[in-house]
Structure formats: structure tokens, C-alpha cells
Amino acid sequence: MSATTVTLLNASYEPLGKVSFNHAVRMLFREVATVEEGHDDKTIGPHPWPRVIRLVRYVATKWMYRPAPWTRRGVLVRDGHRCAYCSGRATTVDHVLPASRGGRWAWTNCVAACGPCNGKKGNRTPREAGMRLLWEPYVPTRAQLATLS
């Protein structure tokens, strides 16, 4: 039973994101974090195999409330891996205003989309394609993406 990432919580139980399994183990042995949720059937020294760890001391996270940098993965996480046109499972990112027509790689111009909807829309705006966005794209904070992922 091997986990690749472990959820990291602040001392106040607010999610800070994910850390690698190895990083989580180092934090446990340095005693800067404790296991909040683990696998009961497996241990690492005196600690349960971690799924969720919590910092022992509170870390100020003002930086978490700044706008997140744009990434393809971030768009998919922000939109819950749901297509902005049909709410099906999204695997691609679509430009509302196509990049070939001057659309930017930006939070407010990109939405998650399924392959069929992305292909149907093609090199057109949603209005030109006769498609409607189910929600407006927005700029998420780092905290929002950490909570959603």
C-alpha cells in the first residue's frame, strides 16, 4: 500500500495542499507534523502510514489567498474536471476566445472541456458554435485550488 501524496493541513486544520509521501515522513520524524488520518494496518516507525498530516505549529498563509498562477491542471481542478459546456468529464482545456484569434492562456479565457465539446466548438467562440458556458471562468486563489484538489 503505497501513497504518492499526502494531504497537508495547517495547525488550524485548514488544507494547505499536498506533499510527497517522502516529505510527509520527514516532517513526521522531525516532529513538525502529526498524523491526522493514516492506514491502521501499516506503520513507519512509531507513526501510522500517513494519508493526512497536520502541522504542529500554525503557519501564516497570506500567500495562499493570492491569485494562483495559471496551469492546465489548475483549470481542470478549478472546474472540478467537469466540462463547462455539457458538465461531462473534462480532459482538455478550451479557450473561450480561441488562441488562434488572439485568446490568451489566462484563467478568464480558459475552461475545462470534454473532447467532444472541445471538437464541436473548434476555432469558434461559444456563441458562434451555438454553445453556452454553464459557468463563468474566474481567477482562483491558491487556497481554492488546494481545497479543490
Q: pLDDT tens digit string along 70-125?
A: 999 999 999 999 999 999 999 999 999 999 999 999 999 999 999 999 999 999 99
User: Which domains can be identified in the chain, with CATH numbers?
Assistant: 5-60 (no CATH), 67-148 (1.10.30)
Compute the radius of gyration of the chain from its Cα atoms.
Answer: 19
* Digit-coded pLDDT (tens) for 109-121: 999 999 999 999 9
Tell me the residue ranges of DSSP E strands in 10-148.
Answer: 15-20, 33-44, 47-55, 92-95, 110-113
Q: How confident is the model at residue 34 (pLDDT cuts 50, 70, 90)?
A: very high
3 state SS for 117-131: HHHHHCCCCHHHHCC
pLDDT value of residue 109:
98
Question: pTM score > 0.75 for this model?
Answer: no
Q: Is the pLDDT of residue 40 over 50?
A: yes
pLDDT value of residue 1:
39
Helix (H, G, I), strand (E, B), or coil: what is residue 50?
strand
pLDDT value of residue 3:
55
